[in-house]
Structure 1
Amino acid sequence: MFLEEDIDISKIELKKLVNFLPYPIIITEKLGGEYFYSFFNKNFIKKMGYRISEVPARMDLLKLLYPDDHYRNEILQEWTSKENRVKQAGKGFIKIKAHVTCRSGEKKWFEIKGSIVNNLQIVAFFNINNDVIMQDKLRKKNLNNDRMLSILGHDLRSPIANLISISSLAERSEISQQEFISMMQIIKEESLEALQLLDTTFNWHG
């Protein structure tokens, strides 16, 4: 839920409103060309763990949310780029997905949405951590399936081809009992090799 620019509402009323919303929200105010935090709602303090007294400037909080310099720069560049597009269009929302570090040290995925209202920027954090984890598990499972099929297709080809060749030879040729026993031993060994490969592949996949 965001406020459009044409809504006439005081800063006090705005803070009261966002304080009742169920997700973390921060409000920044642009003063002298720089953004400063003017309000953290109670869910931001509770779920993220940071208080406005600790991070008066924008970069102070960004350093806590994104401790890694490289990742923080990526997030800041993406946000700034989308922020500029919203300003040029005069409408719309800023929206990114980011891996955020809470005060407890726990890292969670959030969809972060921002709306510009005059010199204010209202930013909400929507927890998508479970969705991202499930998608990652599904991606890894699909990758494992592809690897397993590749292994089966490649490594089973040789044992199976050998079994077919030996069986055909035994079927077409007049061979002695000793030769037949020897071929059966080879077939047994090839079969055990194929079975072992299957067991190893499925155990690795599981």
Structure 2
Amino acid sequence: MNQVKRAIGIDFGTTNCCVGVYDKGRIDIIENEQRQTTFPCMVTFFGREIVVGEAAKDQFTRNPRNTVFDMKRLLGRGFSDGVVKIGRNRWPFRVVRGKNDKPMVEIMFNGAQRRFSAEEICAMVLHKIKTIAESCLNRKVKDTVITVPAYFNIEQRQAVKEAATIAGLHVMQLMDEPIAALVAYGLDAATYSCSTPKKILIFDLGGHSLFSTIN
């Protein structure tokens, strides 16, 4: 008999992320060290140290030039892409053109100027998520399902997989965020009884996308 794989589910947002696991008929959202269920998708390069999540956010005002965020927006895009051009005018960190028009983040790390791709930065966040999950579940974590925006193209989806691979994760499936919301409702709906059929409209109300649209 084949052993059932136990994967973690990662909601990998532009601004924040969280991780959950399906166990014994229910979904449990895993807390981080600060007992929070979400944490920022931010990375700070501080001297010789790389800090991820809430600790990186705390460093932002003191070290904005070397605190990196919004990397999900760079995944699968070229340096000449309009989204990248807009971001370069807003971000405090520097984004430069790399090989084959690939956008690269240029920061100071370990006393030298270094360049990292969006995939490498995202991998640092995903590795942090992996570590949090392993600490909570008391077991090694390899397999994962990761949510992505429904509009992500092939290149962007491949970039997410590449970031996960760098982080030591195996992506079993990329799931569109609206579908993930629908599945989550369906898994939880068994708790409620309904005598008559009905249609449910489910929204994926993304915080970063909503903010960008309003502004």
TM-score range, shorter chain: under 0.3
Task: With the length of structure 2 as denominator, give the TM-score of the two structures.
Answer: 0.23
Return the structure number with greater helix share.
1
Return the structure number with greater strand share.
2
Look at both structures and tell me which one has the larger radius of gyration over its CA atoms.
Answer: 1
